[in-house]
Amino acid sequence: MTPASPDDAAGSRNTDPVTDAAGPPTTDPVTDAGGPRTTEPVTDTADLTRAIADAPLVRAWSSFLASGATPFTIPGHKRQAGTVSDLLARMLDADVPLFGGLDAVKLTSGVLTRAERLAGQAWGARWCRFSTGGSTHANQAIVLAAGQPGRPVLVSRTAHRSTLLALVLAGLRPVWLPVDCDPVTAIPLGLNPDRLRVAAKEHPDAAAVLCVEPGYFGTVSAVAELADAAHRAGLPLIVDQAWGAHFGFHPGLPPHALRAGADAMVISVHKSLPAFSQASALFVASEWWDEGRLERAFEAGNTTSPAGAILASVDAARALLTHPAGTALLDRLIGLVADARGRLRAAGIGTVDPASFPPGRYDPAKLVIRTGSLHRNGNDVEAELVRAGVPVEMADADTVIPLVSLLDDERTVGRLVEAMLDAVRRAPAVRRSGDPGALTSMLASWPVPEQLLTPREAFFAEVAAVPADRAAGRICAEVIAPYPPGIPALVPGELIDADRLRVLRDAAAAGTRIAYAADPSLHTIQVVDDPTPR
């Protein structure tokens, strides 16, 4: 699916389909214009505090802190760090283990089960588990449950590296599904349901469909259509919704994947909600897998020493999100991001425009700033932002992505906008190194590379780093993903062809960020240490 035309979204104007900067800027690109809109503050914070305090894991965490217990359990700081260092105390005083802390004797009180049951109800799932290993662990758990070694799975080419490693662990064979990309900006637009239907017919023995919604740049596929296509083919749809933990809890946001018909969903609670780093959750809505299989798959990579504070923060985020204050905070978030886009656009700085997409196909809380048309390298702009004390989530040659969450307010977003305007002013002007969409268009026009080994076979093979000019014709042993679009150009087990390698090396030399590769300059490539493809 592709975005609506600019005429459909915003009247007749000369504009890129996914940017709200209408042609060349008519104002000084680094001049501030206007100020942030004032939004309503969250009211009745006492009621929200009570709701969070009543969350089962939060209540257990608070009770343990107030108990005055002298623990003789792990962790080794024993809640005594303040006796030796105030700095250590600030780092560790919130840390309470699940076992011997939130749950005094291992899993006898059922407090974790109660919290997970409440989250399952909130997201409409029949089975839910909280993870302290991030969405990496949750993705690997659901892929382990998906099928038996050797079976194919249909996988969006935008899949995260954790999914690729899950395929290694499970021994599943990926059938890669290319995604549509905007030809101008190179931003991935989503997975085409027709492409899924064709792949499902070609691989009737497939075990599941794996996709990523939303993508890193905020775009969302037609998930309901993907779910329908998968189910008609007799396949479950598994969605990595790491960047969309807030979806489904505000009418202005896309529905979450389960509500759109997916069978399983992973969310990174810590990305857009107030939770500790590594906080994640896995939800299953359908009867596709029995609970025994799900539990075995989840526990295969789960720690036996889970951090209670991380788990409690998932419970707290659930309580906040399902409280009326959560809706108000999401409303404020959407408004703040819209205002930020407006101020940046007024200053001549382009951003991705949600109005350019069909309803529900873009995250309005995502702020993607385009710097290429300003003759500024996004990496240089990021460096200026860091110097100003405003670090951002990601930058590449043409893009800066700050993460704005529901705890941001007018002050923090106002500081971001001011810092961005100043960073663009300070960053050196550069000549554009080329059309950001050219690399994507070229790679997208080629078929997915020939897969000579499964990711598992490539992972366990002997690997060597070879000069790039000797890599063509060898089997790749690493992920190589240019940003944008963040779609792997090569994954372990695929044949490296000379043309693709040349394009990637030219892009790296021109400043394109090459993610995951051991040598991001691509002077050397990790290959299977066997020159004979098998």
For the segment 311-342, what is each residue's pLDDT rounded down to a tens digit? 999 999 999 999 999 999 999 999 999 999 99
Average pLDDT score, the chain: 87
- Look at the chain and count its residues: 534
205 confidence band (pLDDT: 50, 70, 90): very high
Coil/strand/helix, residue 475: strand
**pLDDT of amino acid 201:** 98
The strand pair at 481-483 and 513-515 is best described as: antiparallel
55/224 Cα distance (integer angstroms): 32
Q: Angle, nearest 10°, between helix axes 111-123 and 308-321?
A: 30
pLDDT, residue 346, reads: 96
pLDDT digits (tens, 9 = 90+) for 107-122: 556 899 999 999 999 9
Residues 217 and 401 sit within 8 Å (Cβ to Cβ): yes
Q: Is the pLDDT of residue 178 over 60?
A: yes
Q: How far apart are CA 518 and CA 255, in angstroms?
A: 37
Residue 419 has pLDDT above 70, yes or no: yes
370/395 Cα distance (integer angstroms): 10
Beta pairing partners, 463 = 528
The C-alpha atoms of residue 400 and residue 378 are separated, in whole angstroms, by 6
CA dihedral (30, 33, 35, 37) positive or negative? negative
pLDDT range class, residue 513, cuts 50, 70, 90: confident
Q: pLDDT by residue (tens digit) across 139-163? A: 999 999 999 999 999 999 988 888 9
Read off the pLDDT band of 486 (50, 70, 90). Answer: confident
In the chain, the amino acid numbered 159 is: A
- Spatial distance between the Cα atoms of 408 and 333, rounded to a whole number of angstroms: 7
pLDDT at 42: 59
Would the pLDDT of 409 be above 80? Answer: yes
Cα–Cα nearest to 493, from 515, 516, 474, 513: 474
Q: At what angle do helices 308-321 and 324-346 cross, to 10 degrees?
A: 80
pTM more than 0.85? yes
What integer pLDDT is reported at residue 300 of this predicted model?
96
pLDDT digits (tens, 9 = 90+) for 283-297: 999 999 999 999 999
What is the model's pLDDT at position 108? 54
Q: What does the alpha-carbon distance between residue 525 and residue 504 come to, in Å, rounded to a whole number?
A: 11
**Structural tokens at position 183:** 């030809």
**Distance (Å, rounded) from C-alpha 437 to C-alpha 372?**
11
In the prediction, which pLDDT does 13 show?
32
> What pLDDT score was predicted for residue 442?
67
- Once rounded to an integer, what is the mean pLDDT over residues 51-77? 89
Helix (H/G/I), strand (E/B), else coil: 276: coil
pLDDT in tens, 212-252: 999 989 999 999 999 999 999 999 999 999 999 999 999 99
- pLDDT for 444: 65
pLDDT digits (tens, 9 = 90+) for 349-369: 999 999 999 999 999 999 999
Give residue-wise pLDDT tens across range 9-61.
333 333 343 455 434 333 444 433 334 444 555 566 889 999 999 999 999 99
pLDDT band with cut points at 50, 70 and 90 for residue 434: low
Q: How confident is the model at residue 72 (pLDDT cuts 50, 70, 90)?
A: confident
CA–CA–CA angle 306, 274, 252 (5° rounding): 130
CA–chain centroid gap for 361, Å, is 16
How many Cα neighbours within 13 Å face the side chain of 132? Answer: 18
Mean pLDDT for 494-519 is 89
